[in-house]
Structure 1
Amino acid sequence: MPITDKLRKAVGLFVVMDEPTEETPPRLNFSEPAATPTQAPSAEMSELDRKLAEIEKRSQAIAAGATGATPPPLPQTVEQLVRQSAGPNLDEIKVSAEQTSGALLPDGKVDVQAIYAGAKLPAVTFGAEQTRELLSKLPPGLSLDMQRQMVAATLTTMGATMGASAETIVADASRKLAALAAYVTDLQKVTSERVSYAQAEIEALEARIAEQKSIIASTQQQLTTAQTQCEAEADKIDDILEFFSLDTGPSKYAAGMQPTQTPRV
């Protein structure tokens, strides 16, 4: 899927991060490998059932008009969330491929950090890259619900010191996706312009080549024509010389003459 299509899909995604419960799994430690979870699948299902029961209970309280009930947070799209965070909106992110020429490394790789710098994205302490590292430390085999619970617990602990939250991470990730899309779009435009210019140059060179080939052919034809005519004229002049000489040659007059004959004057 092209990056621009990924961006179109991403801006419409709804973001909801559950608050960690009292029995939230411990947060992950970046310096130590994540421990293998001890919950059995049945315990995991029990936790999910308990959460569903809480949501159902909360919905019933709201429907009954309970004043003390706290309504669940309304889901927001990625685009809405970015607009509410500090930094540019997704449609405001622009990247010039020419000004970010350093992003294309000599070995053919792309320096994405140079692209992000070219987009002037706000700096974050804990963003998309750190979240990717965090997710890689999750124990294998966990359900998506348990993964989100563990990440939520980690972000709750880190939030006070690093200012990290699901909202800041989503905003950072979506802005970086928009920067990549903007860079590729501009690079496609620049590439198209360069290719069009090169093609025009090739066409001009091909026209010059065709012109020079025509000149060569015309010059060679002129040489052939001139040589033929000059040889014909030379034969006529040679006839004159043979007429007044005793030499026997290819002239039409030489055949009837004898070596002792005196040339006619």
Structure 2
Amino acid sequence: MAILSVNVNKIATLRNARGGNVPDLLKVSADIERFGAQGITIHPRPDERHIRYQDARDLKRMVTTELNIEGNPIESFVKLVEEVRPHQVTLVPDAVDAITSNAGWDTVKNKNFLKEMVDHFKSMGIRTSIFVDPVLEMVEGAAKTGVDRIELYTEDYAIGYVKDPEAAIKPYVEAAEAAHDLSLGINAGHDLSLDNIEYFSKHIPNLKEVSIGHALISESLYLGLENVVNMYKKKLS
């Protein structure tokens, strides 16, 4: 069974909209764990428009499951990870002004840089993951960096699932099989939802973790956060 890590960026976005501490990010994160999630994911960006760097420090002190910090390993991000020492760091090649992540790494072109980052974080005992598209060459490139896991970027799957689930899942199955053959752990995330997560998890071999934020928080507006967390866990089981 893949574990569910809940991305709480949207909780921080809502908090920041009014400038106070409602909703309380730490309390919501603790509740999400209490409801059954097995991890908390955050993706701080340099402008701190949702998750603030201080949130990462505060969450490390109270998360009882696993803390996953995602981001582009620019200098400020690297320093944050060095300080916080999360359980997992996921390297994502998003631009400073990106609204959300929109592509995986070119692991061939960026091999030396990624290897340097992977070696650095692993030397501190932090599990490392690289965000990649479901392309065999990119999976193979990731393996050459010495990374522990890859995170499959699933937006194309989510879009294609609506019209043809079988065609949408095919490149992800192939990428996951290749990753497993290369001794890479497999995570996944982006636009996964209650509508498409069960099909994805049933067809992706050796899936270890899914990171879900936007859809899960949006669905919780109608169905309730505790209910939705457990609905995801049921579909992943």
Q: When the two structures are superposed, what TM-score results if normalisation uses the length of structure 1? A: 0.24
Q: Which has the higher strand share?
A: 2
Structure number with greater Rg is: 1
Q: When the two structures are superposed, what TM-score results if normalisation uses the length of structure 2? A: 0.26
Q: Which has the higher contact order (CA 8 A, sep 6+)?
A: 1
